[in-house]
Structure 1
Amino acid sequence: MSVEFVNGMQASALHPVKWIKSSHSNATGNCVETAALPDGRIAVRNSRDPHGPALVCTRDGFDGFVAAVREGDFDPVIG
């Protein structure tokens, strides 16, 4: 799997986009948000830092990442 992310892009520079928070987010604010960008890429940010860095990847890269998570490829990382 090859996922190409642009690291550290300021999330505030991506305005206006609609950020979507995961339904698995918890009350302590450990949340991941995603946004579909006008050019078809996907942005990911930490909701605790809405103006901080965001990762941006292609739709294919994001789909590949999600598929890998669903298939358990990262289970050793999360314990």
Structure 2
Amino acid sequence: MQNFTNGVPAGLIPGSWVKSRKSEANGTCVEVLGLTQGGVALRNSTDPSGPALIFTTAEMEAFLDGAKNGEFDALVATN
């Protein structure tokens, strides 16, 4: 089992990357991949071989909790 670190080329991480159903038609979105050793990798869908960010399960839980509670809503432009 391989441990991955931040900045590893995302193309070197095996698995099926997942993109949100709300992703724009042109494919610009963040993609995620659950890692076999635990944690989550994120990559930019427009640069699938570019660097991946690696997060622990606890870090992703904290982020998702904040997102669900609207803590980051001010970062997104609204119409």
> Per the shorter chain, which TM-score range?
0.7 to 0.9
Alpha-carbon separation, structure 1, partners of 2:18 and 2:74:
27
**TM-score under structure 1 length normalisation:** 0.82
Unaligned stretches of 5+ in structure 2?
none
Q: May I ask how many residue pairs the two structures share in their alignment?
A: 73
Note the C-alpha offset of 1:54: 1.0
Unaligned stretches of 5+ in structure 1?
1-5
Alignment of 1:52-67 (within 5 A): 52-67=50-65
User: Of the two, which has the highest radius of gyration?
Assistant: 2
1:14-60 per-residue CA deviation (whole Å, 9 max, x = no partner) reads 1x211111111011221111001111110011111110011110011
**TM-score under structure 2 length normalisation:** 0.82
What SS is found at the alignment partner of 1:18? coil
Note the C-alpha offset of 1:9: 2.2
Percent identical across equivalent pairs? 41
